[in-house]
Amino acid sequence: MPRAPIPTWCFALVVVRRGDHFLIVQESKYGQPWYLPAGRVEQGESFADAAVRETLEEAGIPVRVTGLIRVEHSPSPAGARMRVIYLAEPTDDTPPKTEPDDESLGAAWVTRDELAKYALRGTEVTELFDFVANGGAVYSPDIIQAEGVPYRIGH
């Protein structure tokens, strides 16, 4: 008997770093706290492409993914959730957006010490910024590949 597919919701989260500053966005939902650029991966989109798109939509900042911090898989009886957390850097000096829209209320560059001034969605933002600032392990974003891509030694 064939098994039913497991519904899986996929999300990309992005820690964007510029020197000693990190990018945060003010969400228009969940009580309007500040969080990382993040969102659901759209049909046909890679996790990395979703990370770049979500950062541009929510913060107005074009970025380049530079590393992969962690892949999380949380199965439950109703399905599963996957989150891929990337490290990225801005590709230019575009300032964070300040005009609210459907994606976010705005964005800001902050230092780790300035985070205390913001109502954060949870402790995850602080934990991730500390992890990156203190030299936590960051992997090549190429570790995630599409099926069928040839295996290469030394790549």
Domains and their CATH numbers in the chain: 17-142 (3.90.79.10)
pLDDT tens-place string over residues 46-96: 999 999 999 999 999 999 999 999 999 999 999 999 999 999 999 999 999
pLDDT tens-place string over residues 20-53: 999 999 998 877 899 999 999 999 999 999 999 9
What whole-number percentage of the chain has pLDDT above 90?
A: 88
How far apart (Å, rounded) are the C-alpha atoms in residues 147 and 145? Answer: 6
Angle at 115 between CA 114 and CA 120, to 5 degrees: 155
Cβ neighbour number for residue 47 with a 10 Å cutoff: 21
What confidence score (pLDDT) does residue 153 get? Answer: 83
Is 21 exposed, middle or buried (CB count within 10 Å of its CB: 0-12, 13-18, 19+)? middle
Residue 155 predicted with pLDDT over 90: no
Q: Is the pTM of this model over 0.75?
A: yes
Residue 9 predicted with pLDDT over 80: yes
